[in-house]
Amino acid sequence: MRSIAVTSAVVVSVLLAACGEEKDKPASQVAAKVNKTEISVHQINHMLQRQPGLKPEQAEGASRTVLERLIDQQLAVQKAEEMKLDRDPRVVQAMDAAKREILSRVYLEKVAEAASKPSPEEVRSYYQAKPALFSQRRVYNLQEIAIQTDKAQLPVLQEQLKSAKSTGEFLEYLKANNIKFGVNQAARAAEQLPLNMLDAFHQMKDGQAMMVPTENGVQAIVLVASREMPVDEIKARPAIEQFILNERKRKVVEDEIKALRKNAEIQYVGKFAQAAPAKGDAASAAAAPAPAPAGSAAAGNDAAISKGLSGLK
C-alpha cells in the first residue's frame, strides 16, 4: 500500500508538471483529454496498481506509458461507439459477463475478510504436525513417467514397476508392449508436492517408486535421490500464517456460497432439470475446490507454502 501511495503521488506530480499547472491553482485529476473525453489520474493509478513490484523511481516512466495506452484505448472506444458496436449482442453479453464476474469476485473477497489470522500457538501446532514439510523437509530428485493407458492396465503396470530391477527395465517393458509414455526429470522440494501425497513421498527411500492415476492413464514416479533441507519454525512462520489464513478464507467463502444457495430459490429448466442435483449436493459441488493433479506442483492454497519457502531451496 505504501508503494501504491508513493506511485500515486509521483504520477500526480509528474502529470501536473507536464501540463504546466501553476502552484497556486487547485490540483487537477485530469491527465489528458481525447476528443473532449477526459482520462483521469485515477485511471492511471488503477492501472499502475495492477503492476506488482513497481518501484517509486519507475513511476514516472510507467505512468506515461499507461497514459499513452489509455489514450489509444479511448480512441478505439470512441470509434466503436460511433459504429454502435456497444449495441452488438455479443459485446453486450461480454460486458455483462465481465460485470457479473467482477461483482461476484469483489463480494467474495469482502466476505473472506471475516477470516481471522492464526495465533502463534496455531502456527506452532501446524509446524509440529508437518515434519515432512518443515523439520524433516527433503528435496526430491524424481523421474516422472507419464503413461497413456486405460485404468484396467494399472494393476499389471504396478506389478511390472515393482518387479523391475531398474527404471530402464520398466521402460523397456513399455516399449515392448507399444505403450506410449513420456519421461521427465525434476527436482521438487517438499512444498512443491501435493500436500495430500507428501507423507507418501516422505516415506519413500531412494530408488523406490510409486504409481498415481491421471486423467490420461497413470504416472510412475521414481525417487532417484533425495537430500534433507529442514526449515526451522521462525523461517517457516510467514508461509504457515498465510496458508492457514488462505484456508480460513476459502472456508468462509465456501460457507457463504452454501448459505446463499440454501436461502435462494433455484429452478433448473429444460435439459438441465433432468439431471438436477439435490439442493445440498449442488451447494457442495459449487463450493468444493478442484483437486490438484497427481504429481504436479502444489495448487490453490498450497501455493502459499510453496511461495513462502521458495527462497530456502
pLDDT confidence tier of residue 272, bands split at 50, 70 and 90: confident
Per-residue pLDDT, 279: 61
Is the entire prediction scored with pTM above 0.85?
Answer: no
Distance of CA 83 to the CA centre of its chain: 38
Q: What is the pLDDT of residues 247-264, one digit of tens each?
A: 999 999 999 999 999 999
- Average pLDDT, integer, range 94-99: 96
CA distance 111 to 252: 7
Question: In the predicted model, what is the mean pLDDT of the chain?
Answer: 83
CA distance 299 to 302: 5
DSSP 8-state symbol, 283: H
DSSP 8-state symbol, 87: G
pLDDT confidence tier of residue 275, bands split at 50, 70 and 90: confident
Q: Is it the case that residue 25 has pLDDT exceeding 50?
A: no
Per-residue pLDDT, 55: 85
Lowest mean pLDDT among 13-27, 141-155, 247-261: 13-27
Q: Is it the case that residue 32 has pLDDT exceeding 60?
A: yes
pLDDT confidence tier of residue 17, bands split at 50, 70 and 90: very low
What is the four-CA torsion angle of 91, 93, 99, 105, rounded to 10 degrees? -130
Q: Are 118 and 241 in contact (CB under 8 A)?
A: yes
* Strand spans (E) along the chain: 30-34, 37-40, 138-148, 181-189, 209-214, 217-228
Distance of CA 210 to the CA centre of its chain: 27
| b/e burial code for range 242-262 (CB count within 10 A of at least 16 → b) | bbbbbbbbbebbbebbbeebe
pLDDT confidence tier of residue 130, bands split at 50, 70 and 90: very high
- Average pLDDT, integer, range 158-167: 90
Q: Are 73 and 37 in contact (CB under 8 A)?
A: no
Calculate the alpha carbon distances from 247 to 137, 240, 244 in Å. 22, 11, 5
Per-residue pLDDT, 2: 41
Query: What domains, with CATH codes, occur in the chain?
Result: 2-85 (no CATH), 138-228 (3.10.50)
Q: Which residues contact 213 (CB under 8 A, 6 or more apart)?
A: 151, 154, 219, 294
What is the four-CA torsion angle of 60, 63, 68, 70, rounded to 10 degrees? -170
CA distance 234 to 135: 11
CA distance 186 to 219: 14
Q: Is it the case that residue 3 has pLDDT exceeding 50?
A: no
Strand, coil or helix: 221: strand
Q: Are 229 and 138 in contact (CB under 8 A)?
A: yes
Q: Is it the case that residue 291 has pLDDT exceeding 80?
A: no
Question: Which is higher by pLDDT, 296 or 85?
Answer: 85
pLDDT confidence tier of residue 51, bands split at 50, 70 and 90: confident
CA distance 11 to 24: 19
CA distance 182 to 288: 32
Q: What is the pLDDT of residues 164-218, one digit of tens each?
A: 989 999 999 999 999 999 999 999 999 999 988 999 999 999 999 999 888 889 9
Percent of the chain with pLDDT over 70: 79
* Three cell numbers, residue 262: 440454501
